[in-house]
């Protein structure tokens, strides 16, 4: 009996030791390894909201391409929305992006009067605001603006107008009265045209409001009243496209100068038929604008500063000589 009891006790002790041994690896796991977060969770991904002027304009689509390409390089989440050139739509987007928890917001401020209150509200919520292409001078909350030197672009348009026009000729302008960028282009153009010794007569074709069809109608009306209009400067390529349709329909010989440098503009200049009318273009660099504003936002969010508060990208002239480049 004693022998049996001793055997039973020894067996029980053996099972107990085996059970302890099986738990030992769990108890001796490396605490540092179990506490270390993954690379994905250790670095929070920045989320930035962007609002382009209108995807109906090739120029803004190219800016969006620049934003997305740079955002991918920098490893940030870019939410890109369409402002439809409407201050109310853009303001709603700003408010929604704040609610969604964006770390920063950048927009093309095509309607400063309509969007400035929403921009200031975002800033008050601690969301820094940036602008590209068009900005607002009615507030000081903008951390950085990236865009074309539009006054200089207007001057280049003025130089081309003077070059193409004869002494005392009628020259027109199709403007866009809301965005500051287009007002700057007009100012630069007028500065050069009025200073010319050719005594050119300026014809106000009208405000096309970013609508190519409206530009065509305005140009049709202008040619009815001024069939001898020699040159028209358009503050945006949609206006130039509308002007081209009107000039061809009227059988006029008016020369067209566009502004943006979109692929369609270059194609028109190089075309054997359309190139008789659309002969010059002031080119911007929309993809660079998109890349630069994205870079500046990341600089600010990571380092608390931007390279410059205003970054201006120089425009240049395109004609048939360099449109294929």
Measured CA distances, 63 to 128, 208, 255, 305, 311 (Å):
20, 22, 28, 23, 15
The answer on pLDDT for 146 being more than 60 is yes
Mean of pLDDT over the chain? 88
According to DSSP, residue 251 is labeled T
Measured CA distances, 207 to 175, 213, 215 (Å):
5, 12, 8
| pLDDT for the residue 228 | 98
| pLDDT for the residue 21 | 33
Rounded-to-5 percentages of helix, strand, coil across the chain:
50, 20, 30
| pLDDT for the residue 161 | 98
Domain co-membership, 171 together with 269: yes
Does residue 15 sit within a domain?
A: no
Query: Distance between CA 252 and CA 241 in Å, rounded?
Result: 15
| pLDDT for the residue 95 | 98
Q: Which pLDDT tens digit goes with each residue over 175-228? A: 999 888 999 999 999 999 999 999 999 999 999 999 999 999 999 999 999 999
pTM of the full structure:
0.76
Q: Which pLDDT tens digit goes with each residue over 18-53? A: 333 333 333 333 323 323 333 332 347 999 999 999
Q: Which of 123, 253, 235 is nearest to 184 (CA)?
A: 235
Residue 173 domain boundaries: 150-283
Instruction: Please tell me the total count of domains within the chain.
Output: 2
Q: Which pLDDT tens digit goes with each residue over 274-293? A: 999 999 999 999 999 999 99
Q: What is the CATH number of the domain that holds 253?
A: 3.40.50.2300
CB 135 within 8 Å of CB 180 = yes
| pLDDT for the residue 178 | 86
Does residue 12 sit within a domain?
A: no
Q: Which pLDDT tens digit goes with each residue over 81-134? A: 999 999 999 999 999 999 999 999 999 999 998 999 999 999 999 999 999 999
| pLDDT for the residue 180 | 87
Q: Which long-range contacts (CB under 8 A, 24 or more apart) does 271-276 make?
A: 274/244, 275/320
Domain co-membership, 141 together with 260: no
């Amino acid at each position: 009996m004693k022998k049996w009891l001793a055997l039973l006790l020894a067996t029980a002790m053996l099972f107990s030791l085996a059970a302890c041994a099986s738990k030992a690896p769990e108890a001796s796991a490396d605490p540092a390894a179990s506490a270390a977060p993954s690379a994905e969770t250790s670095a929070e991904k920045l989320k930035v909201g962007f609002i382009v002027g209108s995807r109906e304009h090739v120029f803004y689509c190219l800016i969006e391409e620049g934003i997305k390409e740079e955002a991918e390089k920098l490893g940030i989440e870019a939410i890109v929305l369409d402002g439809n050139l409407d201050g109310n739509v853009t303001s709603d987007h700003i408010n929604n992006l704040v609610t969604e928890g964006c770390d920063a917001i950048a927009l093309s401020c095509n309607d400063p009067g309509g969007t400035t209150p929403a921009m200031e509200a975002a800033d008050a919520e601690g969301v820094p605001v940036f602008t590209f292409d068009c900005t607002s001078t009615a507030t000081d909350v903008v951390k950085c603006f990236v865009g074309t030197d539009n006054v200089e672009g207007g001057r280049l348009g003025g130089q081309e107008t003077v070059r193409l026009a004869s002494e005392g000729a009628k020259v027109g302008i199709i403007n866009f009265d809301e965005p500051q960028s287009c007002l700057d282009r007009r100012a630069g153009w007028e500065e050069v045209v009025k200073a010319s010794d050719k005594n050119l007569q300026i014809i106000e074709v009208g405000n096309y409001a970013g609508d190519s069809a409206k530009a065509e109608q305005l140009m049709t009306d202008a040619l009815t009243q001024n069939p001898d209009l020699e040159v028209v400067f358009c503050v945006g390529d949609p206006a130039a496209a509308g002007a081209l349709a009107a000039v061809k329909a009227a059988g006029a010989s008016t020369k067209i100068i566009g502004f943006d440098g979109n692929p369609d503009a270059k194609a028109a200049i190089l075309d054997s038929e359309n190139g008789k009318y659309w002969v010059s273009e002031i080119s911007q660099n929309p993809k660079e604008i998109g890349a630069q504003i994205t870079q500046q936002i990341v600089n600010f969010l990571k380092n608390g500063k931007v390279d410059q508060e205003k970054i201006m990208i120089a425009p240049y002239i395109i004609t048939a000589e360099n449109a294929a480049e």
